[in-house]
C-alpha cells in the first residue's frame, strides 16, 4: 500500500473509530434519513482522485461522525482537535473549515470534504497552491494581507503546541510572515495576489517547504 493510500485509511480511521459497518454505501444512502445526500460514487470518482473503495471508507467514517450528512463548524473543531491534543487547534480548524466550506453555507458536506482532501493528498502542485492561497485569503477578496498570513501562522503554531517547538519565541510566527511577505509581495503594494503567491512558492524551495506545512495538518 502506498503512502497516500495509508493516509486515506488513517484519516478515515480517525473519523470512524468503530469502523464496524459492512453495509455498502449505496444501501446506506438508500436507508438512512440523512439531511444531505452525497453525490453518487461514480460522480465522486470522476471529480476526485479517490477510487470507489477509498470513497466508501471515507464515507463510512464521515457518516459515523456526521449522521446528518453535513458537519457544522463546532463539530468540525471537536473532531479536528482530537488530532492535535498537544495544542489548541480551534483557530486553525476555523480557517480550515472555511476553506472546505466552498459554497459558504456554514456546513461541510461529504462532497466538500473529499474534494478538498483529494487536492491536498493527490492534487498537482498548482492545485495545492491554489488551495493554500484560498486558505490564507481569509476574507476571500482575492488577496492575502500580512495580517491574514500572520493569523494563519499563529494558528498553526498554537495547534502544534509549544512542546513541539521548545525553542520557538512568541515573535517567531511574525518573523516568518515578514520573511515570506517580503519575498511574495513583489510589487510592494501591501498585498499578495494568487500569481505572486504561486510564482514565489514555486521558485523558492524554502518557502515551498514551509507553505506545504498545511499538508501535514489536515
CA distance 194 to 175: 22
Which backbone phi and psi does 69 adopt, to 5 degrees? 95, -5
* pLDDT tens per residue, range 6-65: 666 666 666 554 344 444 555 444 434 344 555 688 889 999 999 999 999 999 888 888
The x, y and z cell numbers of residue 30, run together, are 438508500
Sign of the CA dihedral running 98, 154, 217, 46? positive
The x, y and z cell numbers of residue 198, run together, are 504561486
* pLDDT tens per residue, range 87-138: 899 999 999 999 999 889 999 999 999 999 999 889 988 998 999 999 999 9
Amino acid at each position: 500500500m502506498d503512502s497516500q493510500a495509508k493516509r486515506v485509511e488513517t484519516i478515515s480511521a480517525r473519523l470512524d473509530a468503530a469502523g464496524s459497518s459492512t453495509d455498502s454505501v449505496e444501501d446506506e444512502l438508500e436507508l438512512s434519513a440523512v439531511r444531505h445526500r452525497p453525490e453518487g460514487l461514480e460522480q465522486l470518482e470522476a471529480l476526485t482522485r479517490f477510487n470507489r473503495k477509498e470513497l466508501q471508507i471515507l464515507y463510512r467514517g464521515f457518516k459515523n461522525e456526521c449522521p446528518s450528512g453535513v458537519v457544522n463548524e463546532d463539530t468540525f473543531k471537536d473532531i479536528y482537535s482530537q488530532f492535535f491534543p498537544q495544542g489548541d487547534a480551534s483557530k486553525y480548524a476555523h480557517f480550515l473549515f472555511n476553506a472546505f466550506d466552498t459554497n459558504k453555507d456554514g456546513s461541510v458536506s461529504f462532497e466538500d470534504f473529499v474534494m478538498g482532501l483529494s487536492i491536498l493528498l493527490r492534487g498537482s502542485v498548482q492545485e495545492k497552491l491554489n488551495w493554500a492561497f484560498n486558505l490564507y485569503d481569509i476574507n476571500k477578496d482575492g488577496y492575502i494581507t500580512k495580517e491574514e498570513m500572520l493569523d494563519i501562522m499563529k494558528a498553526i503554531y498554537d495547534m502544534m503546541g509549544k512542546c513541539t517547538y521548545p525553542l520557538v519565541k512568541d515573535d517567531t510566527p511574525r518573523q516568518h510572515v515578514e520573511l515570506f511577505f517580503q519575498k511574495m509581495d513583489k510589487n510592494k503594494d501591501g498585498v499578495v495576489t494568487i500569481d505572486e503567491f504561486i510564482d514565489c512558492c514555486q521558485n523558492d524551495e524554502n518557502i515551498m517547504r514551509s507553505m506545504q506545512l498545511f499538508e501535514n495538518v489536515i
